[in-house]
């Protein structure tokens, strides 16, 4: 059963929650005064006989839904007609100055067999901590409600985007990817000190690190997948990598076939923007059978190496030919260590564009091009 958000949809006559909401009188949802005293005409009365939910259990958690169940004493159980569910983001759990234990502030549902599914992208976001409490209620013939005490408050966290949600993002990204341009190298820009450190501390091998929290809030790779970021975008007029970079004046270049070949798997990771007109697509290259490959196989949509809208590897006359999408900025994560001896490190002639960095960048939640309805 899908549980509606009471306060969000109260004034919308076309809301899908209308049938449930109209069961509550306007008086029944009036806020208490600042002292926490219930209004005389609130339409809610206390009835001790109604069982108080306890031992609340949350299960089947996704990025925009969860199942909830609880135990109740059998006393007066048959009189329960509705459940009131107080759901709040954990960081804002003390923000409601008018909350009263007798006033339903968030969700209302008709009593159904437990466990009950709570689903709704308009009030549930991925990777977000929530608190929840439950109250049982009995609707009276005059429209008023008898209610139990609130249950204990418990906490839970919603999940990441599933493959289904990521496929929705993938399809949106395909719309704007544009035509394909040839490229021949992957490259990674950093400061000189970074490459000195790699040589001295890691035997000249670039090491995977945990991806930061840039991009979509629900992305399953943020804060979890280990890899090395590379770029492959080229300038339209030269067919070569741009000479400017936001990440440093030294660039490691490696031939595309060293990282991208029939022995690697390609996955779609994310699609986002940062309040700008251009968009980013994150792709993951993982050597087949590697730990990174196993991680991605369970969580990300896999792409055909030779036929996709973003990054392709095809064979022509015995040579490998590579193409990248023109109209999106590709961020490619390679999940294994990469030795510097496989490429070259040199100083670029352009500028360092700090304003273009995507480190921990937050996705624009209002962009219709790169957001899906499940969350941000």
Query: Which CATH number applies to 54-158?
Result: 2.60.40.10
The Cα 213–Cα 211 span in angstroms is 7
The Cα 13–Cα 373 span in angstroms is 21
Instruction: Give yes or no for a contact between 369 and 271, defined as CB atoms under 8 angstroms apart.
Output: no
Asked if pLDDT for residue 103 goes beyond 90, the answer is no
**pLDDT of the residue at 2:** 41
Q: Which residue has the higher pLDDT, 301 or 215?
A: 301
Asked if pLDDT for residue 267 goes beyond 80, the answer is yes
Question: What digits encode the pLDDT tens for the residues 351-369?
Answer: 666 555 566 667 888 899 9
Burial of 114 (0-12, 13-18, 19+ CB in 10 A): middle
Q: For residues 153-176, b (16+ Cβ closer than 10 Å) or e, as one string?
A: ebebebbbbbeebbebbbebbbeb
**pLDDT of the residue at 78:** 84
The residue length of the chain stands at: 376
Question: What digits encode the pLDDT tens for the residues 21-69?
Answer: 333 322 233 323 323 333 344 445 444 579 999 999 999 999 989 999 9
Cβ atoms within 10 A of the Cβ of 283, count?
24
**pLDDT of the residue at 358:** 61
Question: What digits encode the pLDDT tens for the residues 108-167?
Answer: 889 999 999 998 866 788 998 999 999 999 998 888 888 999 999 999 999 999 999 999
Q: What is the mean pLDDT of the chain?
A: 82
Q: Note the pTM of the prediction, 2 decimals.
A: 0.78
Domain limits, the chain: 54-158, 163-347
Range 288-316 average pLDDT: 96
Asked if pLDDT for residue 104 goes beyond 80, the answer is no
Of the candidates 252, 168, 149, 160, the one whose C-alpha atom is nearest the C-alpha of residue 206 is: 252
Q: Which residue has the higher pLDDT, 119 or 308?
A: 308
Q: Which residue has the higher pLDDT, 240 or 22?
A: 240
Name 303's bridge partners: 266
The Cα 60–Cα 331 span in angstroms is 32
- Write the CB contacts of 219 (distance below 8 Å, at least 6 apart in sequence): 160, 161, 166, 269, 270, 282
Of the candidates 113, 53, 51, the one whose C-alpha atom is nearest the C-alpha of residue 85 is: 53
C-alpha pair distances (Å), 56 with each of 1, 134, 136 = 18, 8, 13
Asked if pLDDT for residue 220 goes beyond 90, the answer is yes
The Cα 114–Cα 106 span in angstroms is 19
């Amino acid at each position: 059963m899908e549980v509606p958000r009471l306060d969000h949809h109260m004034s919308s006559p076309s809301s899908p929650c209308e049938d449930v909401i109209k069961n509550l009188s306007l008086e029944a949802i009036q806020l208490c005064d600042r002292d926490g005293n219930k209004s005389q005409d609130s339409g809610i009365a206390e009835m001790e006989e109604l069982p108080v939910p306890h031992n609340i259990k949350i299960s089947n958690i996704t990025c925009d839904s969860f199942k909830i169940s609880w135990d109740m004493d059998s006393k007066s159980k048959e009189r329960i007609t509705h459940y009131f569910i107080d759901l709040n983001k954990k960081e804002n759990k003390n923000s409601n100055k008018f909350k009263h234990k007798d006033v339903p502030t968030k969700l209302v549902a008709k009593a159904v067999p437990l466990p009950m599914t709570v689903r709704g992208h308009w009030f549930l976001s991925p990777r977000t901590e929530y608190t929840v409490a439950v109250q049982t209620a009995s609707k009276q013939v005059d429209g008023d409600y008898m209610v139990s005490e609130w249950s204990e408050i418990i906490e839970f966290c919603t999940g990441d985007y599933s493959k289904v949600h990521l496929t929705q993002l993938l399809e949106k990204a395909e719309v704007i990817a544009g035509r394909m341009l040839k490229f021949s190298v992957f490259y990674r820009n950093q400061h000189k000190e970074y490459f000195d450190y790699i040589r001295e501390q890691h035997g000249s091998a670039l090491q995977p690190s945990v991806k930061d929290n840039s991009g979509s809030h629900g992305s399953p790779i943020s804060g979890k997948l280990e890899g090395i970021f590379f770029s492959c975008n080229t300038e339209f007029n030269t067919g070569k990598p741009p000479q400017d970079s936001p990440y440093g004046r030294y660039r490691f270049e490696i031939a595309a076939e060293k990282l991208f070949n029939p022995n690697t798997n390609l996955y779609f990771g994310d699609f986002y923007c940062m309040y700008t007109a251009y968009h980013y697509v994150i792709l993951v290259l993982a050597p087949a059978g590697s730990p990174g490959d196993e991680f991605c196989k369970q969580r990300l949509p896999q792409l055909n190496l030779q036929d996709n809208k973003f990054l392709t590897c095809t064979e022509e006359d015995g040579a490998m030919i590579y193409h990248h999408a023109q109209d999106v900025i590709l961020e490619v994560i390679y999940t294994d260590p990469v030795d510097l001896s496989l490429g070259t490190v040199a100083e670029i002639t352009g500028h360092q564009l700090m304003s273009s960095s995507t480190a921990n960048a937050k996705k624009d939640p209002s962009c219709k091009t790169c957001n899906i309805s499940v969350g941000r």
